[in-house]
Structure formats: structure tokens, C-alpha cells
Amino acid sequence: MESEFIALDKAGEEAKWIQNFLEDIPYWPKPVAPKIPVGFLKYLKGQEHIEHAILKRDSKRWLIKLNDKRFEKGWGKFTEQNDVQLGDMLVFRHDGNMEFDVCIIDSTHCDREYAEYLHEE
């Protein structure tokens, strides 16, 4: 039981760190299509001409056109269908072949899927 309290305490510290980090990010009045981070590009060596990425969430998939490693056509549809809001944090997990599982963390620091599950009951 003591280890559970320690784990909860650590989770609280991490949530506070993320909150402080997010407060330092400048406010953008218009959502900006994300660009694939430079640090990730090292894993794509030899694949400079990638034109599409696939975003996955639950059992759904979205084809996203890339332009200079920036998400373009298809990104708006993804954000609309997943109700992405200003302040949400998206976590991308690369599954290979430019396919990414996407987790949406809302302003309450909960996975959006979990929050929807609570509202359904």
C-alpha cells in the first residue's frame, strides 16, 4: 500500500511539472499544424520523400498529407473528429512506417477517451 501512495505522489509531481511546462508555451490564437520534431527525423534517414503519415486512434485511421514534414491535408479532419481543443496535449507513438498512435490529453490531464467514458455512464 505504501508503494501505491509513492506512485500517486510521483504521478502528482509529474502532472505539476507538465502543467508548469505548458504554462510556458506561448499562446497561439489559431491552431498550427504540427511539424515532425527534428529529434525524430534522425529515425527517418533515407526516407526524405515521405508524403503521408497515418494517425490512429481507437480503431480509426486518418491519412495525413505531409509538406516539408508538416501535417497538412487531413489534419483538420483529424482534429475535428477528435474534438481537439486549444490546450489539449497530443502524444504520438511511432509504430513504424509513418504510422502513429495518438493519445489526446485534455485540460484535466486525462486521456480524452477515459473522460468520454465517464460522461457516458
**Cβ distance 61 to 54 under 8 Å?**
yes
Phi, psi at 78, each rounded to 5°: -60, -50
pLDDT tens, position by position, 99-111: 999 999 888 778 8
Measured CA angle at 41 (ends 38, 45), to 5 deg:
145
> Cα-Cα-Cα-Cα dihedral of 69, 59, 18, 3, to 10°?
-140
Q: In the chain, what are the domains?
A: 38-105 (2.40.330.10)
Least confident of 16-20, 33-37, 87-91: 16-20
Give me the pLDDT at residue 102, please. Answer: 92
- The rounded distance, in Å, linking the Cα atoms of 59 and 70 is 24
User: CB 105: neighbour CB atoms within 10 A?
Assistant: 18
pLDDT tens, position by position, 16-31: 777 777 666 655 555 5
